[in-house]
Amino acid sequence: MNDENSRTGSQGKPGEGPVRDAGDYSLRLFDDFPNPIWRSGQDAKCNYFNREWLAFTGRTLEQELGFGWTEGVHPEDRDRCLKTLRDAFDRRAPFETEYRLRYHDGTYRWLLDCGKPYHNPDGTFAGYLGSCYDIHARREAEIALLESEKRYRDMFEINNAVMFIVDPESRQIVDANAAACRFYGYSRDEMQHLLITQINIQDPQKTTKDMGVAAASPGSVFQFRHKKKNGEIRDVEVFSGTVYFGGRKLLHSIIQDVTDRTRGEEALKESETQYRDLVENVSEVIVSLDHEGKFTYVSPVAQRLYGYAPQELIGKNFLQFVHPDDRDRVTDVFRKELSGIYLADEFRVLAQDHSIHWISVAPRPIERDGNVVGFNYVMTDFTGRKIAEEALRESEQKFREIFSNINDGVEIHELQSDGLPGKYVEANEVSCRMLGYTREELLKMGPFDVAIDYQNPPITEIARQFLTQGRSRFETGHRNRQGTVIPVEINAHVISLGGRKLVLSVVRDITARKKAEKEEQLTRERFETLVKIARIEDADEQEISEYILQAARHMTGSTLAFIGRMTPDESVMEIEFWSSSVMKECSVPSSFFHLPVQKAGLWADAVRTRQPKIVNDYAPSPGGKGLPSGHVNITRFLSLPILDNGKVVMVAAVANKPEPYDDADATRLALLMQGVWGHLQQRRADEALRESEEKFRLFFNNVNDAVYVHQIDPDGKPGRLVEVNDILCHNLGYTREELLSLSIPDILSEAGLRRIQETSGVIDHAGQAIFETEHRRKDGSIVPVEVSTHRFTQGKILLALANARDITERKKAEEALLASEQKFHDIFNNSTDAIHINEIGEDGLPGRFSDVNEVTCRMLGYTREEILALGPQDIATSYHDPPVEKILEDQRTKGAARFETEYRTRNGGIIPVEIITHRMILQGRPVMLEVVRDITDRKKAEALLRDFNCELEEQVKAQTEKINASLNEKVLLLREIHHRVKNNLQLIISLTNLQMRESSNPQLIQMMKETQNRVRAMSLVHERLYQSDDIARINLADYTRFLATQIFGFYGTSARQVKLTLDVDRIMLDINTAIPTGLILNELVSNALKHAFPDNLVGEVSITAREEGNAFVLQVRDTGIGMPAGFDWKESQTLGLRLVWILTEQLNGTAELLPAEKGTAFSLRLTKAKGTDSTGM
């Protein structure tokens, strides 16, 4: 869709209007479709996607428009998808294609995309409309099925084992693999035409019976004799299982040639005695068990290994000697062996001395007459190996714990023959975080990929140390993923691992140490300068400032310096001190030393930003306002603010350093000036101290709290009062003189005296304390107070300054708080809902319950003590609505959350609950208060409501179908009415044509032709209505174009003589507005063509229409000869202009003749019928 069509719906081709045009009702329906829907124009570019498409892809409409949607198509499918689309567009044919589209979570899902061409009302091709269906599950199933079939075919065809498939009902061999064909000597085709009874030489009825057993008991094993094509008889062992093909149950048989085995069995029997001797002397224990698990034979080795004589074990069940922790599993394995599944196993057994031994066993069935009657086992004791494995596992676990949890980075890399490092082979989490790489990324790199060129000692020396000493310790820098260089110290050792020489390196980040070393150097310089400044005792500020400026120039290598003091509001800087070299060269007027920040240039940036300002190329500096006339020349510049309690109090600047300034210069100057500012403040503070002593006296007597000073007796107890303020006198009811004659015990209650004695140890140790006590007034009443006391020495006398605050009101508030807490506990324990409080872990997850009410206990069936040992995760199921992540996010950001879950009671029952949580601080710790409501009844009601809604939706659907059927009948009837009215109007035109043929009066004939034009204007309205999708409204733009073209044709006006220009909005009008509007257009255009262009005058007729709310403005202009001078069209007696005026009033409109330099211009403002708008709705 192009920009022009975006602005004006009438300018585009049919079917290419603006995306989501409110007038296209079908698109609004598509927005609610559950499937992704798209639409394209004639140029194959998509101009519409419904909400489901955008929700599926997670992208915006702007990103998808045009061919933007192809960005989400899987790269392997994109070309094929676009080719299918282009081929269909070329043929204007429907299409279907399957491709993968990126889902909003980043994965790809398979879609079936079905597209069909759609057409404009006039039958012209407008574009394609497509609907997509999610077939991801089907495609994955198809792929899995194909892979499964291929695996089976590969296994069947390629396997060297003899295999074939038999139908147990017909006994037909359905298929055989290559190994079977080779074994039996038949071709595959010959095999597929044989019956199993033609190969198995036993009785056919017995064979059929055995196949029935195999079909009923998969995994059965049979002993048969099979005949090959050459007549040779072979003993075979057949393993049969069931498979399904095409709905049929078939037997899958694996045939093993056991001829040699059976022939050897007799030889085996002959050597049984020799075998028994061998068994009794090997290190493994050989035992036999019957089908009940009882020992029938035990080799003598058992007594040597486990202390049991063979005769002690015969007849006993082997499970009683198995370790209790392994007994259930071993029982399970034995049952499987009885069912024909033979598995090797490892487990623990108990010796006679109760020691534990690890053994491995391999079962071998004992068969008699084709039935398994027991098993032979070879028991190998591997206790020693198991103990070694456990020790090794513990060692590896300890190494892994140290490797993963050490605070330094640990790396292992290859060591090349020249001593230089190779690739990393391992790195711990600290190294990954330090360098910003994942472990997988780091293992593709080596130390040279992250180390900078600097090493101390050099890399050649490090390599030599590795080769000669097997270790090295050095400093270097590592560059992390963001390019930042981190100084590190590496302690490396050469190790052997798996036969390879590797280097184990412990990498320590020494950034802080390096910064500390640099800071130490700067601090030393600063203190030396400040010590020198502090020794200048008698100098005034001018002399001190000159020395400071000299030090600033020296520390930064500058030639110029100045210090300026800021006004309290930071609006003006007054330069107080310049370096003497500046004063000699500078001839700026004195007003320059009073500089408003708002008007200042470069130096003021330090004030504005509260950061040092460095300019190493002063001339082109942005924001510079130039230097005043007579100012000393500046080449480089450094200024910085001095802050005190967050406010800029002073600005220091240096200039004209031979080399560029850097951050180190700024740091040196800042440290110096901060110390200088403190020194200047101290000097001023000393003078201010004298002034403040008097102010202190005023404060002492006017502060809101009682303040007093008392002596500390030699025994450490509070003694006589030496100073009191007026508040203490007022609070206790004494005069100042009376109080100064008393000691502290005289103004304390008995409880107050005990409190003083209790806190005396704290005061003696710390020299200060805050505590509560009681003062006794002169009248004997008691006043609770909070005392803050601080000891100090005046001369050789130990005194204490005490501030006593009356806390009577606070005590009352505390009592009220206790009452409030009691109310909370009453609410907590008497609530009808379950309420509990649980801790919050450092990760934000809920911890154990710290308190629960009685309702919680009754709901869950636990005692309070049992619940306090649990947490929410112990009683809640996995169901949460919304998900747990959303709940935790709400709790973290909003401090509260509301969600549904399920609680599991002590007896296993499930209770649906609704929980409202609030994060709060309780006793200084974050906790979660949760109010839990049982919503079992509500859930039942919701289920009933869902069932009712489903039933109601079915009823509404049926009723809607009936209404739609009735509506379609009415639409058809209205179309027929419009069609017949149009035909009747055409009949009137035909009748007037007949009448004109009978008349020879030219004036009458012209009048009848004009009447015909008016009838055609009305007929065209009905024609457009019955041909339109909307049978109630027509598009004024389309109607105007057709009507004007007809009028031009009627008058035979050539487009070369008079050009027709239309600029009409897409305005939808009903029939009551459209017919009068058409008649007005007919009269005005006809008048222009009849009168405006005499003698083949060339010109233009233009028609414009613009919508304004529930009205529209219609203008008809021509560039003809215009109206006669003084002509009043409203008083005209011509039928045409009278019709224009009458019809305008009928539409509650206004009409006026606009002034025009050339031609005539009519402008009419017409009101649409109520309910008509540009969308036709």
Q: What local confidence, expressed as pLDDT, does residue 7 receive?
A: 30
User: How confident is the model over 467-485, as pLDDT tens digits?
Assistant: 999 899 998 989 999 988 9
Report, as an integer, the average pLDDT of 836-841.
83
Q: What local confidence, expressed as pLDDT, does residue 49 receive?
A: 93
Q: Rounded to an integer, what distance in angstroms lies between the CA atom of residue 26 and that of residue 748?
A: 91
User: How confident is the model over 92-112, as pLDDT tens digits?
Assistant: 999 999 999 999 999 999 999
Q: Rounded to an integer, what distance in angstroms lies between the CA atom of residue 1114 and that of residue 1120?
A: 19
* Bigger pLDDT: 50 vs 19: 50
Q: What local confidence, expressed as pLDDT, does residue 669 receive?
A: 83
Q: Are strands 1058-1064 and 1099-1108 parallel, antiparallel or unpaired?
A: parallel
Say whether pLDDT at 673 is over 60. Answer: yes
For 531, phi then psi, to 5°, come to: -65, -40
Lowest mean pLDDT among 95-109, 731-745, 824-838: 824-838
| Range among 578-592, 732-746, 1083-1097 with highest mean pLDDT value | 732-746
Say whether pLDDT at 939 is over 80. Answer: yes
Q: What local confidence, expressed as pLDDT, does residue 970 receive?
A: 59
Say whether pLDDT at 362 is over 80. Answer: yes
Q: What local confidence, expressed as pLDDT, does residue 1101 receive?
A: 92
Report, as an integer, the average pLDDT of 843-869.
85
Say whether pLDDT at 587 is over 70. Answer: no
Q: Enumerate residues 6+ apart whose C-beta is below 8 A from 34.
A: 52
Say whether pLDDT at 639 is over 60. Answer: yes
Lowest mean pLDDT among 292-306, 476-490, 821-835: 821-835
Q: Rounded to an integer, what distance in angstroms lies between the CA atom of residue 1030 and that of residue 1176?
A: 8
Say whether pLDDT at 993 is over 60. Answer: yes
Q: Is the dihedral of CA 389, 392, 397, 403 positive or negative?
A: negative
User: How confident is the model over 678-696, as pLDDT tens digits?
Assistant: 777 777 666 666 666 666 6
Q: What local confidence, expressed as pLDDT, does residue 111 receive?
A: 92
Report, as an integer, the average pLDDT of 977-982.
63
Q: What local confidence, expressed as pLDDT, does residue 9 receive?
A: 35
Q: Rounded to an integer, what distance in angstroms lies between the CA atom of residue 879 and that of residue 908?
A: 16
Asked if 319 and 411 count as a contact pair (C-beta separation under 8 A), the reply is no
Q: What local confidence, expressed as pLDDT, does residue 216 receive?
A: 78
Q: What local confidence, expressed as pLDDT, does residue 973 receive?
A: 58
Whether this prediction's pTM lies above 0.85 is answered by no
Q: What local confidence, expressed as pLDDT, does residue 1174 receive?
A: 42
Q: Which two tokens stand for residue 772?
A: 């509560």
Q: Rounded to an integer, what distance in angstroms lies between the CA atom of residue 777 and that of residue 772?
A: 16
Q: What local confidence, expressed as pLDDT, does residue 12 receive?
A: 34
User: How confident is the model over 1087-1097, as pLDDT tens digits?
Assistant: 888 888 888 88
Q: What local confidence, expressed as pLDDT, does residue 626 receive?
A: 64
* Bigger pLDDT: 997 vs 7: 997
Q: 14 pLDDT band (50/70/90 cuts)?
A: very low
Say whether pLDDT at 1114 is over 60. Answer: yes
Say whether pLDDT at 1063 is over 90. Answer: yes
Report, as an integer, the average pLDDT of 772-785.
90
Q: 11 pLDDT band (50/70/90 cuts)?
A: very low
Q: Which two tokens stand for residue 779?
A: 């009248």
User: How confident is the model over 225-235, as pLDDT tens digits?
Assistant: 899 999 999 88
Q: Considering only the C-alpha atoms of the chain, give the largest distance between any 2 of them, rounded to a whole number of Å.
A: 147
For 714, phi then psi, to 5°, come to: -55, -30
Q: What local confidence, expressed as pLDDT, does residue 1104 receive?
A: 95
For 380, phi then psi, to 5°, come to: -105, 125
User: How confident is the model over 338-353, as pLDDT tens digits?
Assistant: 888 888 888 999 998 9
Full set of structural domains in the chain with CATH: 3-141 (3.30.450.20), 159-261 (3.30.450.20), 271-387 (3.30.450.20), 406-509 (3.30.450.20), 516-689 (3.30.450.40), 703-806 (3.30.450.20), 812-934 (3.30.450.20), 1032-1177 (3.30.565.10)
| Range among 2-11, 555-564, 674-683, 958-967 with highest mean pLDDT value | 555-564
Beta pairing partners, 239: 221, 254
Q: What local confidence, expressed as pLDDT, does residue 440 receive?
A: 92
Q: 885 pLDDT band (50/70/90 cuts)?
A: confident
Report, as an integer, the average pLDDT of 133-156.
76
Q: Rounded to an integer, what distance in angstroms lies between the CA atom of residue 804 and that of residue 677?
A: 37
* Bigger pLDDT: 440 vs 994: 440
DSSP state of 631: P
Report, as an integer, the average pLDDT of 642-658.
87
User: How confident is the model over 537-557, as pLDDT tens digits?
Assistant: 666 667 777 778 888 887 788
Q: What local confidence, expressed as pLDDT, does residue 1118 receive?
A: 92
Report, as an integer, the average pLDDT of 157-185.
86
Question: For all residues of the chain together, what is the average pLDDT?
Answer: 81
